[in-house]
Amino acid sequence: MQKQQVFNPYLPSWEYVPDGEPHVFGDRVYVYGSHDAFGAPIFCVNDYICWSAPVNDLSDWRYEGVIYRKRQDPGNPFGIRSLYAPDVTCGPDGRYYLYYAFDFLGEIGVAVCDTPAGEYQFYGKVKHKNGKVWGKKSGEQFPFDPGVLTDDDGRVWLYAGFATKVPFVASRWHDLKNDGGVVMELEPDMITIRQEPKLLFPRKGLEGAFPGHAFFEASSIRKVDGKYCFVYSSENNHDLCYAMSDRPDGGFEYGGVLVDLGDLYLDGNTDELHAKNYLGNTHGGMLNIGDDWFIFYHRQTNRSSYARQACAEKLRRRPDGGFYQAEVTSCGLNEGPLRGKGRYEARIACNLWSREGTGRIDGPSPKKRLADHPYFTQTGRDREGDGDQYIANMQDGAVAGFKSFAFDTTEKSLRIEADGSGFFEVSPDESFGELWASVPAGGQAPFTAKAGTYPLYFRYRGGDAAAFRAFTVE
């Protein structure tokens, strides 16, 4: 039973943990991820941290502190290089092993600890039997984004890889290849390659690539009903897809999309300029607790790819044992919809678009200039304060959507905390065919909702740009 409601993002407003890999160790869920910084000009500038929650209450997240520092890697004594997208497994010896991509240098580092969230110590780099570090020989596949599984029989499988259209890094680092996702078996020492890397998931343009959803990055691996479930980010970059097999080193068949940042593919829409949220990279893994399955992923904030936040959604199983695509929501880990009463921060919006639509924040779109679009941001510097995140630059026609709320009565009032001279139209319909309220920015108005479970969409009308901070249903 949850002690409180939990929202997306599920960590505090000032926390930026992308690439989240959730694992159950003992009676707690531990999330391992990269560590962005608000306002940073590049990815992952902070040290690794960990958050955990009881398996029976995914609203009660606890900060475990710094578990591994960038400068602990011997190749990074001054902490200049970033550490990307880690994963953790409990090895056959009962110790916990953390695997990470060492910047874009083509190495997979390994750290070890006696406890899931203690202070990890550098252990070494994934290497061949001859002692050569994987990624230091021309022609090898580029080591990146490790995902690791200690199987039921004690065998250890490491998945990794990158799939850029051109070898933008490989040409500088020993002429490495970027052909896609690979798998290898490790020795019981957790660091020496027993079975050499084998290409399993070819990139777009190569034979065997999954049509329309070829592997790009973000390897993650789980067991589902005895089968091997590989989660990855596809050529589209803003979705997490999966493939399943009866064995860990081959035979994978494409299963579908698990989640997409803009809810593309759910209704047949594939137009990035009309996604339901701004698009960028995402990365995450699956969590199983009892009969429940979740997909963890991250969203973009601050009009950049360098301040990403942890989100999660509940998955539904298909009759064939696979998974349906999850809708992006404001209440992913909550036990059902949010209460249709109380104060909610605007930062938990799961949908956001401008009058011009959306698009990619790290590409040639969105339409016109980023300055024309709303975005999530915060006051203060990185990791300062709490509850200070909001939606900035809500210009005329911009929409913020929240999913979903359970309303038990119809007559209410709605108060909006926003800086702006205009007003907000409020509707359960993203096309605003039905209006439940019209509320001045910074004001209050009657609110007539239907009894039942509904999303809420807020559309700003005004000649200026509003800063949308919160709303309260009373």
pLDDT, tens digit (0-9, with 9 covering 90-100), for 63-117: 999 999 999 999 999 999 999 999 999 999 999 999 999 999 999 999 999 999 9
pLDDT at 165: 60
Other C-beta atoms lying within 10 Å of the C-beta of residue 311 = 28
Specify whether the CB–CB gap between 13 and 389 falls below 8 A: yes
**Pairwise CA distance, residues 16 & 283, whole Å:** 13
Which amino acid is present at 405? F
**Pairwise CA distance, residues 12 & 55, whole Å:** 19
Which SS3 state, helix, strand or coil, does residue 155 take?
coil
pTM for the structure as a whole: 0.97
Residues 6+ apart with CB under 8 A from 207: none
Which amino acid is present at 327? E
* Alpha carbons within 13 A on the beta-carbon side of 89: 29
Other C-beta atoms lying within 10 Å of the C-beta of residue 368 = 12
pLDDT at 350 over 90: yes
Structure tokens, 345 = 């921060």
List the chain domain ranges.
Answer: 21-332, 339-473
pLDDT at 308 over 70: yes
Give the tens place of pLDDT for each residue, 244-290: 999 999 999 999 999 999 999 999 999 999 999 999 999 999 999 99
Domains 21-332 and 339-473 share a fold: no
Helices (H), strands (E): how many in the chain? 0, 31
pLDDT at 369 over 90: no
Which amino acid is present at 168? F
Residue 367's pLDDT band (cuts 50, 70, 90):
low
Residue-wise over 87-97: b if at least 16 C-beta within 10 A, else e? bbbebeeeebb
pLDDT at 171: 46
pLDDT at 363 over 80: no
Which residues are marked as active site? Answer: 19, 217
What is the rounded average pLDDT of the residues 133-138?
93
CATH topology classification for 21-332: Tachylectin-2; Chain A (2.115.10)
Specify whether the CB–CB gap between 165 and 204 falls below 8 A: yes
What is the rounded average pLDDT of the residues 155-169?
81
Strands 351-353 and 342-345, bridge-based pairing: unpaired
pLDDT at 57: 98
Higher-confidence position of 334 and 370: 334
3-state helix, strand, coil in the chain (%, to 5): 5, 45, 50
pLDDT > 70 in the chain, percent: 97
Give the tens place of pLDDT for each residue, 11-66: 999 999 999 999 999 999 999 999 999 999 999 999 999 999 999 999 999 999 99
For domain 339-473, the CATH architecture is: Sandwich (2.60)
Q: Which region among 118-132, 178-192, 313-327, 405-419 has the lowest average model confidence (pLDDT)?
A: 405-419
What is the rounded average pLDDT of the residues 427-452?
96
pLDDT at 467: 98
- Tokens 């007539």 belong to 448
pLDDT at 135: 94
Give the tens place of pLDDT for each residue, 165-221: 655 454 455 689 999 999 999 999 999 999 999 999 999 999 999 999 999 999 999
What is the rounded average pLDDT of the residues 325-338?
98
Q: Is there a cis peptide before residue 116, judged by omega within 30 degrees of 0?
A: no
pLDDT at 174: 64
Q: What is the mean pLDDT of the chain?
A: 95
